[in-house]
A and B are shown apart, each in its own frame.
Chain A
Amino acid sequence: MKHPDTAAAAFQKMEPYLYLAPCLVLVGLFVYWPLANTLFLSLSKTNAMGEAVRFAGLSNYRNVICSGEFLNSCIVTGKFVLLATVPSIVFGLALALLTKKREKGTRVFEMLFSLPVVIASASGAMLWKLMLSPSTGFVSFVLGQKQDWFTDKRLALFTVAALTVWLSVGMNYIFFLTGLRNVPQSISQAADMDGAGPFQKFFYITLPLISPTLFLTFVMNVAAFAQTFTQIMILTRGGPEQSTNVLVYLIYNNAFVNDRYAVACVQSILLFLILLAVTVLQFRMEKKVVYDS
């Protein structure tokens, strides 16, 4: 059944695409074209200007995967994600549980706990760098002993992870608080009447009911922490003997300091594939872990 007014019909068909056009152009320019370019460069040998010199096929990939530095960065990134995600979630959940009830003065604590989120990671990193400086730092003065927080290869990753946890706990806290407050009162009251203790209430009722929030936070945290860069750049620059050389910093270093654009492109593609695989794994897990009411 044809619409009598064909100009209007054509417009109506095109209309959604016209709305999408600006967004598509921006995304195309800033996401898809660079992705295609990166893929192309990863298959070539590049010169110091970042231009492709000749086709190299998969030899770049072979070199990178077999190189010690890529494996080291994967391990460091994995360690860092673990060191940052677990405390972020645990502390975020603990703080949310503490301020769950809307009592007098809760508002103040809500603000205090979520405040670090608004601090730019660069500013936060600079702050910690000054505070933890072994010779002139406030922390060294208070503790009375000098500790090489950032230059000791066994400590550096923990210190950076601690800073990251401090910066991101607020975000998790906000999510968990909302999730906890959405647990229907009726269920917890019914549990109380049945004589459930606080631990039983937590593990059998609260946790399952906030499991969608938990899952979402976990996925977001892993993806975000795997791409940390700012703190590493400011605090350790890959760290004492590569102990904080996370993947994104490795890519930056190879591309912009060492002029090895092809290697950096390969590593970017590999990072993308790794994160893709991890996310797919996580969503496969979702069905088993998240309680679906």
Chain B
Amino acid sequence: MKRKKFSLGIVLLCVAVLSGTFFGCTSSSGQASSSLGNVMSSAGKQTNITFWYSMGGLGEKALQKMIGDFNSSQKNIHVDAKYEGSYTDAMNKLKNSIKGGQLPDIVQLGDEDTRFMMENKNVVPIQDLVDAEKYDLSTLEPNILAFYSLGGKLYGMPFNNSTPVLYYNKDLFRAAGLDPENPPKTMDELIADGKKIAQKDAKGNLKVSGCEINNSDINEWLFSEWMCLQGLPFADNGNGRSKRSTAVAYDKNGGGQKILQKLLEVQQSGTASSAKNINDIFGRFVSKQSAMMLSSSAGLYTVLTTVGSKFQVGTGPMPTISPDDKGGVSVGGAALWMMDTDDSNRQKAAFEFIKFMVSPEEQAYWCGQTGYFPVTTKSYDLPEMKQLLSQKPQFKTAIDQLHKSSPQNQGVLIGTFPELTQQYEDVINKVLSGEWTPEEGIKNAADQANKTIAEYNENNPLD
């Protein structure tokens, strides 16, 4: 009898623990269920919306402040912000939540996912809410709007956008007899300047390098930017904007080969070290082991903060492949996407938050704390923005570069961009090591890319 009671007790304990685990699982996902949200908003209380972001480091601090300001500035809407790791991690979590049902209200995703999000049925295009409230989009930067629009319809709201810039060490330039106010404007000038600056030690190893051009974190992005600078499309069908791309175009229009050729010339000049990722390259630049760094303007605040007073940092536009390139740069970065939670109250609340985040004051603050340029032109009228630009003119470079470009220069929209990035990694390494010529490199890259694109189009029909 005792044994039976004991056994029964154990079984009940197991069942209780198990069910507790499962209920814990569902509630620990940390999102207010939509029914609860409905009840709250209909009773006139707070609407809770969830926001997934992927900013880290100093950017995250600034973002947290902006979110906190929004939450404390009014009582109707509360934003629950969650750090989701990298854009890839956030995208994977989003896909799972699409299958599982608990969508976030707003998610920040990188430019490489733009096409996928535009085609996804669970996304609410920003244009829908813009039309419903007759929101004035004319004050937003036309180039950035152009990137995130298809057929005149804005899908994602640009939030943190950047262009590639050339960071350079003015002190090292001066020491090498170069004009510190005149950074190289073309790749040939970059190689020439690099040759003057580069120093070798007694063993013949590179002590101070000119500029690294193999950065595994942004190689493909730089490649696509150089295509835009040459005014040539990366892929067919209007860079994936008039219709879905079916193949890449950088092999047929010769632009790709020119890029690889120039990169090979930098490598062969012996002025680039073997640092291959953003951490090592950044480390070299801030420790004066490298005079120039090609990177996103979004890192400007971090660069200035890390360098401090060690040396003077200058920024210049991205060097072109050849002196008569007539194109412009495309924006990189990320946008805020609204998910279809089937609750119009929460969508309206989410749009309120989005409007706040792209308001002139918030964008001016955001620019100063990161280096991302403001997505709204009205920020430039604000005194804090004028002060920032006069005290730290390095911030102007990315903005000027953006304004010199046109909406036609905007980058490629393709669903398989992440995979193409990986294929390109192998290609650029094999070309720089001499294993492939630039011609072979482009042919290989294009063959692989076209196969990938064809398979993607076959398995992901647009209905």
Contact = CB atoms under 8 A, between A and B. Distances in A.
Nearest to B14: A22
Interface residues of B, number: 40
Interface stretch (A78-86, A184-192, A216-224, A251-259): A251-259
Given A133-B283, A151-B276, A253 B88 contact: no
A21 B14 contact: yes
B36 interface: no
B274 A48 contact: no
A50 B99 CA distance: 10
A267 B15 CA distance: 36
Interface string A142-171: 000110100111000000000000000000
A236 to B, nearest CB: 10
A183 to B, nearest CB: 41
Interface string A120-153: 0000000000000111100000000110100111
Nearest to A25: B18
A240 B98 contact: no
Contact of A47 (B275, B284, B429, B459): B459
B192 interface: no
Interface in B250-293: 273-277, 279-280, 283-284, 287, 289
Nearest to B12: A18
Interface stretch (B164-172, B228-236, B404-412, B415-423): B415-423
B459 A45 contact: yes
B82 interface: no
A241 B88 contact: no
Nearest to B280: A135
B284 A49 contact: no
A19 interface: yes
B134 interface: no
Contacts of B311: none
Contacts of A148: 274, 276
A256 B280 contact: no
Contacts of B426: 241-242
A53 B430 CA distance: 35
Contact of B275 (A45, A53, A134): A134
Contacts of B11: 15, 18-19
B459 A135 contact: no
On chain A, which size bracket covers the interface?
35 or more
A108 interface: no
Interface in A4-30: 8, 11, 15, 18-19, 21-22, 25-26
A45 to B, nearest CB: 5
B456 interface: yes
Nearest to B276: A151
Contacts of B14: 18-19, 21-22
Given A22-B15, A151-B277, A256 B92 contact: yes
Contacts of A135: 275, 280, 283-284, 287, 289
B419 A151 contact: no
A257 to B, nearest CB: 5
A258 B95 contact: no
Contacts of A8: 4
B10 interface: yes
A46 interface: yes
A134 B429 CA distance: 19
A51 B96 CA distance: 11
A258 B18 contact: no
Interface in B176-219: 203, 205, 216
Given A11-B4, A15-B7, A134-B275, A257 B419 contact: yes
Contacts of A51: 99
B422 A253 contact: yes
B83 interface: no
A136 B459 contact: no
Contacts of A152: 274
A11 B277 CA distance: 64
A253 B277 CA distance: 18
Contacts of A19: 10-11, 14
Contacts of B273: 134
Given A50-B95, A151-B280, 18 more contacts: A18-B11, A47-B459, A48-B456, A133-B279, A134-B280, A135-B280, A136-B283, A145-B205, A146-B205, A148-B274, A148-B276, A256-B88, A256-B92, A257-B88, A257-B418, A257-B419, A258-B419, A259-B419
26 contacts: A15-B11, A19-B10, A21-B14, A22-B15, A22-B18, A26-B18, A46-B459, A47-B459, A48-B415, A134-B273, A135-B283, A135-B287, A136-B283, A145-B205, A148-B274, A151-B274, A240-B276, A240-B429, A241-B429, A242-B426, A253-B422, A256-B92, A257-B418, A257-B422, A258-B419, A259-B456
Interface of A: 8, 11, 15, 18-19, 21-22, 25-26, 45-51, 53, 133-136, 145-146, 148, 151-153, 237, 240-242, 253, 256-260
